[in-house]
Amino acid sequence: MNFYLLKEKSGTNVLFKTTGEDYNRRKCGKCGGVQSIIKNPLKVQLRDDKTSDFYKMIGNNIIGSGIQDILIRHNFKGFKLSPIEIEVKNEERLLDKELLNLTRIEAIGKGGFLQDHLGNKVPHCDNCGTFLNILRISEGLSVDEKEWDGSDIFYFNNWYGNLIISEAVYNVLNESNTQNVRFINLREFSNDYRRSLK
Ligand SMILES: [Zn+2]
């Protein structure tokens, strides 16, 4: 089975405005890794001229009404939607009704621990799941289907914020005229850490 990571097609047009107070942080007593879970509505500033169907930034994903309709109409499982607070650069942007439809999407489905395309688990802290060596995931990724909970939309247990979709979701979204989404087959995941995780 194929699984796909969602990425933004264009360069980023969204600035992250959420601050430290909007997070709950937990530090792992074993490896020192910090997990930050957002507790308040996501705050962003949009810098584009036309509202997009998809935005991604630092562990957060935003979708427009087109993608929301598709996910709901097909009864796909494994996600929740929550409101966001939007700031715009240019007041005229406020006339765009689609702006009001933008919502944060978070996966609640669980994909198990991250593994490479050969099925080897990416080395991680056994307490909190943080990677010990990100470079080890340079050659494509795969899903351990024994650990995956079967959700159409999910995060890997230790790759929070990177939205993964099943082939069923991919087929529908790919056929739609959704703009600004790029689908990366996990098997072909790029080894450029900075570019890939954005
Ligand atoms: Zn840890």
What stretches of 75-163 adopt beta strand conformation (E)?
A: 79-82, 84-88, 103-107, 109-110, 115-116, 141-142, 153-155
Query: Ligand 1 centroid to 25 CA: how many Å?
Result: 13
Percent of the chain exceeding pLDDT 70 equals 92
Residues with CB in 5 Å of ion ligand 1: 28, 30-31, 33, 125, 127-128, 130
What is the number of residues in the chain?
198
- Residue 39: pLDDT above 70? yes
Q: Where are the domains of the chain?
A: 3-197
The highest-confidence range among 25-39, 43-57, 101-115, 126-140, by mean pLDDT, is 101-115
For residue range 67-100, list pLDDT tens digits in order: 999 999 999 999 999 999 999 888 888 889 999 9
- Residue 151: pLDDT above 70? yes
- Residue 107: pLDDT above 80? yes
* Choice between 6 and 134, residue whose per-residue pLDDT is larger: 6
- Residue 187: pLDDT above 50? yes
Query: Ligand 1 centroid to 176 CA: how many Å?
Result: 40
Query: Ligand 1 centroid to 116 CA: how many Å?
Result: 20
Query: Ligand 1 centroid to 124 CA: how many Å?
Result: 8
Which one, of 88, 116, 114, 119, lies nearest residue 102 by Cα?
Answer: 88
pTM of the model: 0.90
Are 195 and 149 contacting, i.e. CB atoms less than 8 angstroms apart?
no
Query: Ligand 1 centroid to 197 CA: how many Å?
Result: 20
